[in-house]
Structure 1
């Protein structure tokens, strides 16, 4: 007599009952992880995303070569998708600090710290590198408000 003939599989309602406690703990765990990820600074989120992709083995070595090489390596479907994206209306903008008045340097550093999660040293280094992209992927209304504030304090900033 084989083992498969004597083994009785529990009915579906019993399986649901047994797995319901595991589902609750799984939901709690996922909610805890999501809350922890949302509490990270943008820089920490970026570092985490790189680490996560690396652990999953999803590193993309062709992207370091350049976008044209990546598109040609991926095939015509990716190139067509990139063309469609360019044609779509832009919804996310980058804020670029082009230059600033020397007298307003401290004000510019303080303002950069208000809309980024950078410390004083990092904000100062970033401002001194002008022209530099201060923030990427900002919605239009928020980006325009930030650019207006920077212009008000004596800096020249643009949306890209």
Structure 2
């Protein structure tokens, strides 16, 4: 009863109640019937797989026989089918797209030939990484790390406890070798990356 009076009031005073918003609410629609709470929810049957193009007719016998013939060919002859069809149907030849300078992801970059040759070029800067150390020489390793970095005692201790960790980045080969030798002398194992 109260809802019906509120509905009548809203229809009479649209400027006060914001009639359009109030009438969009389903409880204030005159033909609204609430769902039966005892009714079971509807179960919809979904297809086994989704085909965005809809159902297709099955292939003809001629196509099936052609597919069987292609499957029975040796691999060398199967590789020639694409170029033969391209020539027979006068299709344009596919051209390779140059991806140099584009970020195409790690997988595509790993396959590219020119990127590998650039990596084989002489590296000028290296990173020094602390692999591991004996627990008894932890204090000596911390002191040695403090000697070639500008870290405080607390920061150096936290860095050593995170091993394996990169100690210093972008150093020359000579500097990296000297750091590795110093760490090896106190009982730690460091590598150059």
TM-score for the superposition, normalised by structure 2: 0.41
Structure with more of its chain in helix, by fraction? 1
More relative contact order, 1 or 2 (CA 8 Å, 6+ apart): 1
